Structure formats: structure tokens, C-alpha cells
């Protein structure tokens, strides 16, 4: 986070609120500069960088009522260097339980999961029209599962850049086996968030209050969201999987297979991109390689299958 971006975020919040926004702190984000005040959140990104914030801004006014934090203002901010695009939101009540649900007990994990499944059901049942529908249909290189042929092609591309054998052959073979069992193509029938891990669900007093960060939203199938929810539930993975299976009347076996192929797709894409970058492996790529080993050798989606 740069000091200049912090100053810009404060100036934006002051202009939008018409008053001093109070203390603002930088929040972790892989894609934007995010600053959080007592009752406002400002996301900024250099104007020349990726346009996913525009996607989120375009969707915000049309999403089901109460699903996300209200958008107060957005646009270009030209005061300061560099010029930035911004979105200013009312801050949702509470704090997120965090990736992996650290410090959350089993009963609370199930309670939160039940609420989140209900919220995602509202999103999946939403029928977007006009500009919202058009935005969700715009092409997005999301790295997720789109079909068997595309996943096999991604694995081939990974093998090409794997010149130093960083990805062991047995892991590439395991990825191929998952791809060969995958459906011919994914459906694109319902709106999905496609990044709904626990870092995007603020909660207060045991109740989920909002779903944040719609920059990856698109048309897909519900499993695109169930995967993120289950995968990043830490030690509560099996409990969250059970909640989703019961709520959606989906067999656990089907849900595990859907999640497995989605994790394979994301990991193959992320690792390929990581290997294409010059220099030493980034910590993120190392983490993805560990996750791939757990997926293939550890059979992470099937270890506790009944």
C-alpha cells in the first residue's frame, strides 16, 4: 500500500461523506488498494491497471437487496499521481471470520455456513436483466473450470512451461486423470460470485451481514461458489461440505467431484502463470504447488469421504 494511495482514499472518503471519515487503515488485498474507516471502505486501483473493479461497480446497483454493502460513489479520481479508479462503499457491520475460519468453533462454523448458503441461494436465483446481465456475460479469464477440453489444454500448457520439472510428472498425470473424469463443459446458467471464501463474508454477533468483492462475478453454476466456500473452511471443511450437501440436496460424492475438478482448474492455471514469471518461485506459487500435491497425492477431497 502506497502513502499516495492512502491519501487518495482519504480524500475520496471525505468528498463522498462530506466530512472527515475518521481513522482509515489499509486492508490486505491481492488486486486493489483497500482502506477501511469506521463506516466507509474505499477501493482504489491505478487507472491503467485491470478493469475488474468496473465489473463490480456495474453490478452493485442491481444485486439482490441486502446482499452486499451499499455503493456510495465510484469513478475516476484525478487528484494526485497516479490517477485511480475507485469505489466507495458503506462499511458492512462486523468483521470477516477469515480464510480457514481460524478461531471459529464447530457449531459457529455450521451456523455461518447455513446462513452463507442461504445468501448464495439468493444470488443463484437472481435473474439479472439489462446491463447487469450483459456485465455477467462479458468474457473473464477466471481460471476456473469451463470444460474438459479446456482443462486438458491448460494441463498441456503447464507441461510446456514446466521445463525444470518443478511440477513432478505424477502430479501432471493426476491432473490429467481428474480432467478426463470431468464433465464435457460447465454450465453458465446462474450468477455466481466465484470468489466467496470466508474473507469476503463479514459477520456480526454470529450473523452474516454481507458478501463483498464482486469483481470475479459471472455466469456459471452453483458449484463454482460451493468450491470456494468449502475449500477455505480449514478444519471445518467437512462440516461445511455437509451443510451444503444437505441444503442443496446434492450427494457428498457429487459435491466432492465438482470441487475437485474446480481446484484442479484453478491450480493448473495459477501454477502455469507462476512458472511463466521470471526469477525465483513466488511464495504464492510455492503454496499452489503444495496444494496440488495435497490434491493429487493426498486426495484432499476424498480423505474423509464415507
Contact 256, 301 (CB under 8 A): yes
Give the pLDDT score at 2.
Answer: 77
Contact 36, 27 (CB under 8 A): yes
pLDDT interval class at 306 (50, 70, 90):
low
pLDDT tens across 28-80, in order?
877 788 999 999 999 999 888 888 899 999 999 999 999 999 999 999 998 87
Cα separation of the two ends of the chain: 46
Give the pLDDT score at 80.
Answer: 74
| Listed residue (46, 35, 40) closest to 18, CA to CA | 40
Question: What's the CA gap between 182 and 54, in Å, rounded?
Answer: 33
pLDDT tens across 178-190, in order?
999 999 999 999 9
Give the pLDDT score at 291.
Answer: 98
Mean pLDDT of the residues in the chain: 95
Give the domains, in start order, of the chain with CATH numbers.
3-90 (3.30.200.20), 106-296 (3.90.1200.10)
Question: What's the CA gap between 141 and 218, in Å, rounded?
Answer: 11
Give the pLDDT score at 158.
Answer: 98
In this predicted structure, the answer to whether residue 1 has a pLDDT above a threshold of 60 is: no
In this predicted structure, the answer to whether residue 257 has a pLDDT above a threshold of 60 is: yes
Residues in Cβ contact with 123 at an 8 Å cutoff, skipping those fewer than 6 apart = 63, 64, 67, 190, 191, 192, 193, 211, 225
pLDDT tens across 70-92, in order?
999 999 998 877 889 999 999 99
Contact 197, 228 (CB under 8 A): yes
The model carries a pTM of 0.94
Q: Calculate what percentage of the chain has a pLDDT beyond 90.
A: 87
Residue-wise DSSP of 177-243: HHHHHS-SB----EEE-S---GGG--EETTEE------TT-EEE-THHHHHHHHHT-GGGHHHHHHH
pLDDT tens across 141-186, in order?
899 999 999 999 999 999 999 988 999 999 999 999 999 999 999 9
Amino acid at each position: 500500500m502506497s502513502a499516495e494511495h492512502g491519501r487518495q482514499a482519504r480524500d475520496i472518503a471525505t468528498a463522498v461523506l462530506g466530512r472527515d471519515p475518521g481513522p482509515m487503515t489499509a486492508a490486505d488485498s491481492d488486486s486493489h488498494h483497500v482502506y477501511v474507516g469506521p463506516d466507509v471502505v474505499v477501493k482504489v486501483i491505478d487507472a491503467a491497471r485491470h478493469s475488474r473493479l468496473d465489473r463490480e461497480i456495474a453490478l452493485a446497483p442491481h444485486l439482490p437487496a441486502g446482499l452486499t454493502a451499499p455503493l456510495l460513489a465510484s469513478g475516476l479520481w484525478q487528484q494526485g499521481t497516479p490517477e485511480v479508479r475507485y469505489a466507495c462503499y458503506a462499511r458492512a457491520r462486523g468483521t470477516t471470520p477469515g480464510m480457514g475460519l481460524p478461531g471459529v468453533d464447530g457449531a459457529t462454523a455450521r451456523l455461518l455456513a447455513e446462513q452463507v448458503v442461504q445468501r448464495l441461494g439468493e444470488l443463484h436465483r437472481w435473474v439479472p436483466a439489462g446491463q447487469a446481465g450483459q456485465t455477467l456475460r462479458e468474457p473473464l479469464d477466471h481460471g476456473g473450470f469451463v470444460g474438459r477440453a479446456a482443462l486438458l489444454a491448460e494441463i498441456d500448457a503447464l507441461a510446456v512451461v514446466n521445463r525444470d520439472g518443478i511440477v513432478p510428472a505424477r502430479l501432471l498425470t493426476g491432473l490429467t486423470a481428474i480432467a478426463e473424469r470431468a464433465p464435457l463443459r460447465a454450465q453458465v446458467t446462474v450468477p455466481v460470485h466465484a470468489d466467496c471464501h470466508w474473507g469476503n463474508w463479514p459477520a456480526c454477533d454470529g450473523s452474516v451481514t454481507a458478501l463483498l468483492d464482486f469483481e470475479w462475478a459471472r455466469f456459471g453454476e452453483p458449484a463454482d461458489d460451493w468450491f470456494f466456500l468449502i475449500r477455505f473452511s480449514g478444519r471445518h471443511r467437512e462440516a461445511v461440505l455437509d451443510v451444503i450437501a444437505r441444503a442443496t440436496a446434492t450427494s457428498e460424492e457429487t459435491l466432492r467431484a465438482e470441487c475437485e475438478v474446480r481446484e484442479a482448474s484453478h491450480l493448473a492455471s495459477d501454477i502455469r502463470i507462476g512458472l511463466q514469471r521470471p526469477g525465483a518461485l513466488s511464495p504464492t506459487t510455492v503454496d499452489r504447488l503444495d496444494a496440488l500435491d495435497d490434491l493429487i497425492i493426498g486426495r484432499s477431497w476424498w480423505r474423509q469421504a464415507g
